[in-house]
């Protein structure tokens, strides 16, 4: 009942005009970038960060969540009409969505994706609402050893789940940790890896690195990618988009199962919406009476991954809000933004900033409503965006990134930093090094170092503190199991 | 290991060696607690192990981009170089010629490089810097660098 009372207060926050505007803007921007291949939610949120610094943290976070939500659905439109996923989390949707479009059923494919996203997203928010406060209460008992071992487990999970090449995932994480130690060591006052640059004494700022690594590097990657395919002609009127009763009947379990899988996979660090959509699709195919229909235009093949990717976006908010550990690049960038605002996500946030937390949770319900309304009524408008020439779009992203990064400190130094990060990001992308672990490690590296040092300070230098405290020991055992399973898998 | 993995793995190994060497100059332990060199030392060791693992493993086929769906590479290296050069030049000129002028140069140049018409280049190079000036310079009150002509 307490949660319901707090949620009602949260709706009071979410319905404030500025926050409502932030929801609508966020969802629309997310949709737009989801529709336009080549730039993802992480890049968009990174590029938007400087703009949102003029807002209050609640409105900024509400906008980020809207972008995250909107992007998950925006990618569907290109998947169905062009067989080209706007987001990696929409890859599975292309399999059946495009086939449906070729059969003249693009409208119901887009419709079921919108309604499925709405239902699964809303159920996800309900789960988040009841789960997050309890998790936050547990997390209140965390001391430095628990945080240190939890972070080690999170990094291991991210390496385990992102990409095929775990050695490269580990390198990416370690590079992020390396960047995190740059600057003056707060305990001894010794500068580390600053190479005589005064600007680096306070450490490597997160936002320019995120903008370079995601926004600018994605532009560079897009330069070498070609656009192919023509839009499939489709009836995208309100009537054409509404699924039939038979479509609903066929998709009902796919939506529920996809939502459930998406939410729980979303909670895991590193798994994210892409893994969720893939698992949901595979599960649906396994449950199907006629699995051979999948890949040939089965509506369940659209409903399951689309429900899963939206529910995963909600699930990813659970570790971010309750323990301050983001599970994906997008939530890591959100965490970086909140830190700039002076907010530290974690268990205390529920006690100290209830208006913020519950305002954001309530805004997720509103985001879902805005999303379904936009996608049932305004799909043709988003389809029109596909006609924006790439020659104009990509330079515009670069210009926005350059001015945005400059505005952080009113200094060109940060812009050079972003360009360097873009070059590194481009090489990483070409060589198959995932960028997400680097960003996560950059955001959390300092916390990990501080937690380890505080733990050893508490134990007078004894490493036993990490195995004698039950939760810390459990996190270490889980990490060891993960590493062992990864090594065994490689051998077999 | 695909041959193209080797140069990057070697660079990473060098970075690891440098990190371990630099960490040894910092203090590893201060009394019974970790000093400023503790974290860099272990990061260096981890980087060395991971990059060695990439260097010594058996060939497994071509490397693939892990984060993005596979897409055909149709753009040319010259486009990439031109994009980088124009961006670097624009940033280098931003403080001397002003941010708006640098953006005009950046946008005009990039639209042409990406195959846009002169008309698109001119329109983008005028409208977008103006929009960004209103957003950042006016609305967000960011003191954007001004050039010799006052903007």
Among A215, A218, A191, A202, residue whose Cα is nearest residue A409: A202
Per-residue pLDDT at A87:
66
Most confident listed range (A139-153, A161-175, B35-49): B35-49
Q: Is the pLDDT of residue A92 over 50?
A: yes
Q: How much is the ipTM here?
A: 0.88
- Do residues A320 and A334 make contact, with C-beta atoms less than 8 angstroms apart? yes
- A184 DSSP β-pair partners: A191
Q: What is the pLDDT of residue B1?
A: 55
Query: What value does the mean pLDDT take over residues B121-138?
Result: 92
Contact (CB<8Å) B43/A402: no
pTM, full prediction? 0.78
- Please answer yes or no on whether B142 and A433 come within 8 Å at the CB atom: no
- Residue A307 near residue A313, CB atoms below 8 Å: no
Residue B60 has pLDDT above 70, yes or no: no
Give dist(CA A154, CA A164) in Å, integer.
Answer: 17
Is A163 in Cβ contact with B67 (below 8 Å)?
A: yes
Distance of CA A476 to the CA centre of its chain: 26
DSSP state of A226: P
What does the DSSP assignment read for chain B?
A: --TTHHHHHHHHHHHHHHHHHHHHHS-SEETTEE-TTHHHHHHHHHHHHHHHHHHHSPP-S----SSS----B-S-HHHHHHHHHHHHHHHHHHHHHBHHHHHHHHHHHHHHHTT--HHHHHHHHHHHHHHHIIIIIIIS-----B-TT--
Tell me the angle at which helices B99-113 and B118-132 cross, rounded to the nearest 10 degrees. 150
CA distances from A375 to A45, A236, A241, A255 (A): 21, 10, 9, 17
Extract the tokens encoding A120. 């699964």
Output the pLDDT for position B66.
42
A324: left (phi over 0), alpha (psi -120 to 50) or beta: left
CB-CB: which of B27, B46, B79 is closest to A188?
B27
Q: Which residues of chain B have a CB within 8 Å of the CB of A405?
A: none
Residue A186: the pLDDT is 82
Averaged pLDDT for residues A30-58: 78
Q: Assess contact for A174 and A184: CB atoms under 8 A.
A: no
Mean pLDDT, residues A29-57 taken together: 78
pLDDT digits (tens, 9 = 90+) for A316-326: 888 888 888 88
**Nearest-angstrom CA–CA distance, A462 and A51:** 46
**What is the percent of chain A with per-residue pLDDT over 90, rounded to a whole number?**
27
- Please determine, for residue B112, whether its predicted confidence score (pLDDT) is greater than 90: yes
- Minimal Cα distance from A400: which residue of B? B132
For residue B33, the cross-strand partners are B30
Q: How far is A184 from chain B (nearest CA, A)?
A: 9
Q: CA torsion angle for A338, A262, A154, A354 (degrees, to 10)?
A: 30
A333 in Cβ contact with A213 (< 8 Å): no
* Joined tokens for residue B43: 């990061």
The DSSP symbol for B33 reads E
Classify residue A193 by its DSSP letter: S
Asked if B57 and A460 come within 8 Å (Cβ–Cβ), the reply is no
pLDDT surpassing 80 at residue B28: yes
pLDDT, mean over chain B: 85
Cα–Cα dist A35/A33, whole Å: 5
pLDDT digits (tens, 9 = 90+) for A320-345: 888 888 877 788 888 888 888 888 88
Pick from B129, B134, B131: nearest CA to B94? B129
What are the structure tokens assigned to A303, written together? 């409903």
How far apart, in whole angstroms, are the C-alpha atoms of residue A90 and residue A480? 33
User: Which alpha helices (H) appear in A83-214, and where do they start and end?
Assistant: 91-102, 106-139, 144-161, 166-181, 206-210
- A201 pLDDT more than 80: yes
- Sorted by sequence, the CB contacts under 8 Å of residue A484 that are 6+ apart come out as none
Q: pLDDT band at B8, cuts 50/70/90?
A: very high
Instruction: Please name the member of A188, A226, A435 whose beta carbon is closest to the beta carbon of B35.
Output: A188
- A410: its two tokens: 């009113």
* CA–CA distance, A13 with A133 (Å, rounded to integer): 18
Q: Is the pLDDT of residue B65 over 60?
A: no
CA-to-CA dists, residue B87 to A337, A360, B36, B132, angstroms: 26, 37, 37, 17
Residue ranges of the alpha helices (H) in A185-232? 206-210, 217-223
CA atoms within 13 A on the CB side of B121: 13
Predicted local distance difference test score (pLDDT) of residue A131: 85
Q: Is the pLDDT of residue A36 over 70?
A: no
Contacts of B24 (CB under 8 A, 6+ apart): B37, B41
Length reported for chain A: 492
Residue A25 confidence (pLDDT) above 70 = yes
pLDDT confidence of B59, banded at 50, 70, 90?
A: low
Backbone φ, ψ for residue B4 (5° rounding): -75, -10
- Vertex B3 angle, CA B80 and B65, to 5°: 50
| Residue listed under structure tokens 């309604």 | A115
The radius of gyration of chain B's CA atoms, rounded to the nearest angstrom, is 23
pLDDT of residue B70: 41
By C-alpha distance, the chain A residue nearest B70 is: A225
Q: What is the pLDDT of residue B72?
A: 40
User: Span A47-59, mean pLDDT?
Assistant: 84
Please report where in the chains the tokens 């130094």 appear, as a residue.
A413
For an interface test with B, the pick among A79, A187, A217, A403 (most B C-beta atoms closer than 10 Å) comes out as A403
B149 against A100, higher pLDDT:
A100
- Which residues, in sequence order, are CB contacts of A195 under 8 Å at separation 6+? none
Which whole number is the average pLDDT over B124-130?
Answer: 95
* Closest C-alpha to B108, from B127, B90, B124, B87: B124
Inter-chain residue contact B142 with A410, CB threshold 8 Å: yes
Q: Which pLDDT score, from 0 to 100, does residue B101 have?
A: 95
What is the pLDDT, as a whole number, of residue A140?
Answer: 77
B15/A205: higher pLDDT: B15
Tokens of A101: 């479009």
- What is the rounded distance in angstroms from the CA atom of residue A332 to the CA atom of residue A210? 9
Inter-chain contact A402–B80, Cβ cutoff 8 Å?
Answer: no
Q: What share of chain A is helix, strand, coil (3-state, %, to 5)?
A: 75, 0, 20
Q: Closest partner residue to B111 among A181, A395, A457, by Cβ?
A: A395
The per-residue pLDDT of chain A, averaged, comes to 85
Q: What tens digit of pLDDT does each residue of A397-448 get?
A: 899 889 988 988 889 999 999 999 999 999 998 898 988 789 888 888 988 9
Report pLDDT for B63: 45
- pLDDT tens for A113-131 read 989 988 998 999 889 888 8
Q: How far apart are CA A396 and CA A47, in angstroms?
A: 12
B94 and A400 in contact by Cβ < 8 A? no
A8 CB burial (10 A radius; 0-12, 13-18, 19+)? exposed
pLDDT band for position A39 (50/70/90)? low
Pure H helices in B99-150: 99-113, 118-132
Select from A86, A47, A68 the least CA-distant residue to A210.
Answer: A47
Tell me how far apart the terminal alpha carbons of chain A are, to the nearest angstrom.
51
Pick the most confident of A146-155, A205-214, A232-241, B102-111: B102-111
| Residue A192 Cα distances to A446, B12, B19, angstroms | 13, 18, 10
Q: At what angle do helices A41-52 and A17-35 cross, to 10 degrees?
A: 140
Closest approach of B147 to chain A, Cα-based (Å): 14
Chain B CA closest to residue A428: B65
> Within an 8 Å CB–CB cutoff, is residue B147 touching chain A?
no
Residues 36-65 in B contacting A (C-alpha not used; CB under 8 Å) = 36, 38-40, 43, 46-47, 50-51, 53-54, 57, 63-65
CA distance A339 to A11: 24
Q: What is the DSSP letter of A225?
A: B
- Residues in chain B within 8 Å Cβ distance of A226: 71-72, 74-75
CA distance A133 to A146: 19
Residue A373 sits at φ, ψ, to 5 deg, of -65, -45
If you ran DSSP here, which 8-state letter would residue B30 be given? E
Q: Please answer whether residues A407 and B140 qualify as being in contact, where contact means their C-beta atoms are separated by less than 8 angstroms.
A: yes
Q: Phi, psi (5° rounding) for residue A345?
A: -60, 145
As a whole number, mean pLDDT of residues A160-183 equals 88
DSSP tag of A53: T
């Amino acid at each position: 009942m307490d949660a319901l009372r707090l949620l009602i207060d949260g709706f009071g926050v979410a319905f404030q005009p500025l926050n409502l505007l932030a929801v609508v803007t966020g969802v629309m921007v997310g949709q737009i970038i989801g529709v336009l291949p080549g730039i993802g939610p992480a890049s968009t949120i990174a590029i938007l960060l400087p703009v949102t610094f003029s807002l209050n943290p609640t409105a900024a976070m509400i906008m980020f969540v809207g972008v995250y939500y909107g992007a998950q659905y925006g990618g569907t439109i290109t998947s169905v009409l062009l067989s080209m996923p706007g987001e990696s989390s929409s890859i599975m949707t292309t399999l059946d969505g495009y086939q449906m479009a070729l059969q003249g059923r693009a409208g119901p494919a887009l419709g079921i994706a919108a309604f499925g996203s709405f239902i699964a997203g809303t159920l996800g928010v309900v789960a988040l609402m009841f789960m997050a406060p309890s998790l936050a209460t547990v997390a209140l008992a965390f001391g430095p050893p628990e945080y240190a071992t939890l972070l080690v487990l999170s990094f291991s999970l991210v390496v385990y789940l992102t990409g095929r090449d775990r050695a490269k995932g580990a390198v990416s994480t370690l590079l992020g940790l390396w960047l995190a130690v740059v600057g003056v060591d707060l305990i001894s006052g010794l500068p580390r890896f600053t190479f005589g640059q005064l600007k680096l004494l306070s450490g490597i700022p997160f936002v320019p690195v995120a903008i370079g690594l995601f926004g600018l590097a994605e532009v560079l990657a897009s330069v070498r990618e070609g656009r192919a395919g023509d839009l499939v002609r489709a009836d995208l009127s309100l009537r054409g988009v509404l699924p039939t009763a038979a479509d609903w009947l066929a998709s009902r379990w796919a939506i529920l199962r996809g939502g459930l899988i998406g939410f729980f996979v979303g909670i895991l660090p590193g798994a994210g919406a892409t893994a969720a959509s893939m698992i949901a699709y595979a599960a649906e195919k396994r449950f199907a009476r006629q699995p051979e229909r999948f890949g040939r235009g089965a509506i369940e093949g659209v409903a399951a991954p689309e429900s899963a990717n939206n529910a995963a976006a909600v699930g990813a908010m659970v570790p971010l809000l309750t323990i301050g550990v983001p599970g994906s690049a997008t939530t890591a960038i959100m965490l970086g933004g909140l830190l700039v605002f002076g907010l530290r996500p974690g268990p205390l946030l529920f006690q100290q900033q209830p208006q913020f937390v519950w305002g954001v949770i309530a805004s997720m319900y509103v985001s879902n409503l805005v999303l379904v309304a936009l996608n049932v009524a305004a799909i043709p408008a988003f389809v029109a965006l596909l006609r924006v020439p790439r020659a104009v779009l990509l330079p515009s992203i670069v210009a926005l990134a350059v001015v945005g990064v400059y505005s952080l400190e009113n200094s060109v130094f940060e812009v050079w930093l972003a360009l360097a990060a873009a070059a590194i990001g481009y090489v990483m992308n070409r060589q198959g090094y995932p960028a997400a672990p680097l960003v996560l490690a950059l955001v959390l590296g300092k916390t990990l170092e501080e937690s380890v040092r505080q733990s050893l300070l508490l134990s007078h230098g004894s490493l036993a503190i990490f195995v004698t405290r039950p939760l810390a020991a459990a996190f270490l055992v889980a990490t060891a199991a993960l590493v062992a399973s990864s090594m065994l898998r490689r051998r077999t | 290991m695909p041959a193209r993995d080797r140069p990057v793995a070697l660079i990473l190994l060098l970075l690891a060696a440098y990190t371990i060497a630099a960490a040894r100059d910092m203090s590893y332990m201060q009394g019974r607690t970790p000093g400023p060199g503790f974290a860099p030392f272990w990061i260096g060791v981890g980087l060395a192990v991971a990059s060695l693992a990439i260097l010594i493993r058996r060939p497994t086929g071509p490397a693939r981009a892990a984060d993005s769906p596979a897409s055909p590479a149709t753009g040319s290296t010259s486009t990439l170089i031109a994009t980088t050069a124009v961006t670097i030049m624009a940033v280098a000129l931003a403080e001397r010629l002003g941010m708006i002028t640098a953006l005009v140069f950046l946008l005009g140049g990039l639209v042409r490089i990406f195959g846009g018409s002169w008309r698109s280049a001119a329109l983008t190079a005028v409208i977008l810097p103006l929009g960004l000036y209103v957003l950042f310079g006016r609305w967000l009150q960011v003191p954007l660098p001004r050039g010799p002509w006052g903007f």
